[in-house]
A and B are shown apart, each in its own frame.
Chain A
Amino acid sequence: MAKAKVTFLDTGVTVNVPVGTRVIEVSEKVGAGLIYGCREGDCGTCLMKVEEGWNNLSEPSVVEEKILRENMAGKHCRLACQAQVLGDITVKPA
Chain B
Amino acid sequence: MTVKDVNKDGYAATQADAVALSDRVHWIGALDPALRTFDIILKTANGTTYNSYLVRGSDGVAVIDTVKEAFSETFFKRLESVADYSEIKYIVLNHLEPDHTGALPELMRRAPQAHLYISQRAQTMLKALLKQDQFEFTPVTTGDTISLGDRTLRFLNTPYLHWPDTQCTYLEEEEILFSGDVFGCHYCDARLFNDRVGDFRFSFEYYYAHIMRPFRDYVLKALKLIEPLSLKAIAPSHGPVLRDRPEQYLSHYRRLATSALDSEIGQEKSLLIFYISSYGNTARMAEAVYEAVGEIKGVRASLYDLEGGEVAPFVDLIEEADGLLFGTPTINGDAVKPVWDLLSSLAVVETRGKLAGAFGSYGWSGEAVRMVEERLRSLKMSVPIEGVRIKLIPTDEELKQCRDFGTSIGKALVGELENRIVEMAELQAG
Contacts and interface: CB of A to CB of B under 8 A. Distances in A.
A31 B382 contact: yes
B254 interface: no
B353 A12 contact: no
B261 interface: no
A12 B121 contact: no
Interface in A42-94: 42, 44, 67, 70-72, 93
B412 A11 contact: yes
Nearest to B378: A35
A28 B383 CA distance: 9
A11 B382 contact: yes
Contacts of A72: 120
B384 interface: yes
A70 B121 contact: yes
Given A35-B352, A93-B353, A10 B420 contact: no
Contacts of B34: none
B422 interface: yes
B399 to A, nearest CB: 24
Contacts of B377: 28, 31, 35
Contacts of A14: 419-422
Interface string B117-157: 00011011000000000000000000000000000000000
A15 B422 contact: yes
Given A11-B382, A35-B352, A71 B424 contact: no
B428 interface: yes
Contacts of A16: 421-424
B124 A12 contact: no
Interface in A22-44: 26, 28-33, 35, 42, 44
Contacts of A13: 384, 419-422
A70 B124 contact: yes
Contacts of B353: 10, 33, 93
A5 B4 CA distance: 78
Contacts of A33: 353, 380-382
Contacts of B427: 15, 29-30
B173 interface: no
B417 interface: yes
A85 to B, nearest CB: 10
Nearest to B376: A31
Nearest to A85: B424
Which of A7, A11, A17: most chain B Cβ within 10 A? A11
A31 B383 contact: yes
A35 B381 CA distance: 8
B73 to A, nearest CB: 34
A28 B377 CA distance: 8
Contacts of A17: 424
A67 B419 CA distance: 32
Interface string B341-385: 000000000001100000000000000000001000100111111
A19 to B, nearest CB: 11
B418 interface: yes
Nearest to A33: B382
B12 to A, nearest CB: 40
Given A31-B377, A70-B123, A11 B384 contact: yes
Contacts of B423: 15-16
B89 to A, nearest CB: 25
A13 B418 CA distance: 8
A65 to B, nearest CB: 13
Which of B123, B380, B423, B428: most chain A Cβ within 10 A? B380
A30 B418 CA distance: 15
A67 B384 CA distance: 28
A35 B428 CA distance: 18
B418 to A, nearest CB: 7
A16 B426 CA distance: 10
A67 B417 CA distance: 34
A21 to B, nearest CB: 7
Contacts of B415: 12
Nearest to A25: B424
Interface string B393-430: 00000000000000000001001011111111001100
25 contacts: A7-B419, A10-B382, A11-B384, A12-B384, A12-B417, A12-B419, A13-B384, A13-B420, A14-B422, A16-B421, A16-B422, A17-B424, A18-B424, A30-B422, A31-B382, A31-B383, A33-B353, A33-B381, A33-B382, A35-B352, A35-B377, A42-B124, A67-B124, A72-B120, A93-B353
The 10 closest A-B pairs by CB, nearest first: A31-B383, A11-B384, A33-B382, A35-B380, A29-B427, A17-B424, A14-B421, A12-B419, A12-B417, A13-B420
Given A11-B384, A12-B419, A29-B427, 12 more contacts: A12-B384, A12-B418, A13-B422, A14-B421, A16-B423, A29-B428, A31-B373, A31-B383, A32-B384, A35-B377, A42-B124, A44-B164
